[in-house]
Amino acid sequence: MPHTVSKISRAAFDFVDEIERMTDRTLLMARFGKQLADYGFHAWLVTGLPNPGSRIDPLMLLNGWPKGWTELYTKADFVQDDPVVAHCFRSTVPFEWRDTPFDPLTNLKAKAVMDRATDFHMRRGFCVPIYSADRFQSVVTMAGDKVDLEAPVKRALHLMAIYMQDKAVALSVPAVLPPLKVLTGREREVLQWTAAGKTSWEISQILNISEATVTGHIKAACVKFAAPNRLAAVVRALRRGEISL
């Protein structure tokens, strides 16, 4: 039965109302997957976006991708050549995967990523870029073989993606911060220097790494702590005993 505009809108608002009361990540993922399935999507991901050269797996918040695709994507480090990811850095509005501007005849690596996605029945997709106040970028992306991407559905997906990302971040913050160390040694070093008031460029000079790599470590720490910016990440690292003043 075709989706009417009123039915699509009501379903989106009902979804938002329902997930705002959720406290369980597994139930949240199941609810989002069920909602997306109504429009033909079976694969989705809520994640931060890494700087060029950095990995995406530490930034993944909620993963509804097929297991095999996650393993292949991360092992092959497809994020470096994924044209959808590249377009996320250029777009502030939602877009369909097929509208991603790249030439498959000259950009063979990008074409290979998209071709492999079809092996997992991810032929058409929709992407919602999301920016935080300090320009930390994340995205909610979804895909399937035969999907409904009429204008009313796109608007509903946009709304649901924003609330889904907010909820994913909120549920990533533990009620009681455990003593377990979660930062890598390099992430800890970078946050330690950030706490000392150093800029990303200054830290790159101190640690003899690129400024982009420094920013990537800060992004990874922000995701692990569900922190909206580097200052919040420093505060949470101090509270957990990961770094000290």
Q: What pLDDT, in 10s, does the model give residues 94-109?
A: 999 999 999 989 999 9
Q: How high is the pLDDT of residue 42?
A: 97
Q: How many CB atoms lie within 10 A of CB 175?
A: 5
Whether residue 106 sits in one domain with residue 58: yes
- Please report which helix (H) or strand (E) contains residue 140, including its range: strand 137-144
- Segments of the chain scoring below 70 in pLDDT: 1-2, 132-136, 173-181, 245
Number of structural domains found in the chain:
2
- What are the tokens at 167? 């909820």
Whether residue 147 sits in one domain with residue 101: yes
Whether residue 165 sits in one domain with residue 213: no
Q: Are 45 and 60 in contact (CB under 8 A)?
A: yes
Whether residue 227 sits in one domain with residue 138: no
Using DSSP's 3-state secondary structure scheme, residue 129 falls into strand
- What are the tokens at 237? 């690292």
177 domain-assigned: no
Whether residue 204 sits in one domain with residue 128: no
122 domain-assigned: yes
Whose tokens are 């991810």? That residue is 122
Q: Rounded to the nearest 5°, which phi and psi values hold at 141?
A: -125, 145
Q: What angle do CA 170, 197, 243 make, to 5 degrees?
A: 55
pTM: 0.72
178 domain-assigned: no
Whether residue 234 sits in one domain with residue 201: yes
State the CATH number of the domain containing residue 219. 1.10.10.10
213 domain-assigned: yes
Q: From CA 181, how far away is CA 123, in angstroms rounded? A: 39
**Closest to 206 (Cα-Cα) out of 197, 195, 198:** 198
* Domain closes at, from 110, 140, 171: 171
Q: Are 68 and 120 in contact (CB under 8 A)?
A: yes
Whether residue 158 sits in one domain with residue 99: yes
Q: Are 217 and 187 in contact (CB under 8 A)?
A: yes
Residue 161: domain span = 5-171
* Domain closes at, from 171, 198, 215: 171
Walk across the sheet containing 137-144 and list its strands: 60-63, 43-48, 137-144, 124-131, 95-96
Class of residue 180 by CB neighbours under 10 A (exposed 0-12, middle 13-18, buried 19+): exposed
Whether residue 84 sits in one domain with residue 113: yes
106 domain-assigned: yes
* Domain closes at, from 125, 145, 171: 171
Whether residue 165 sits in one domain with residue 110: yes
Q: How high is the pLDDT of residue 75?
A: 95
Using DSSP's 3-state secondary structure scheme, residue 223 falls into helix
Q: Rounded to the nearest 5°, which phi and psi values hold at 146?
A: -120, 100
245 domain-assigned: no
192 domain-assigned: yes
Q: How many CB atoms lie within 10 A of CB 128?
A: 24
Share of the chain above pLDDT 70, in %: 93
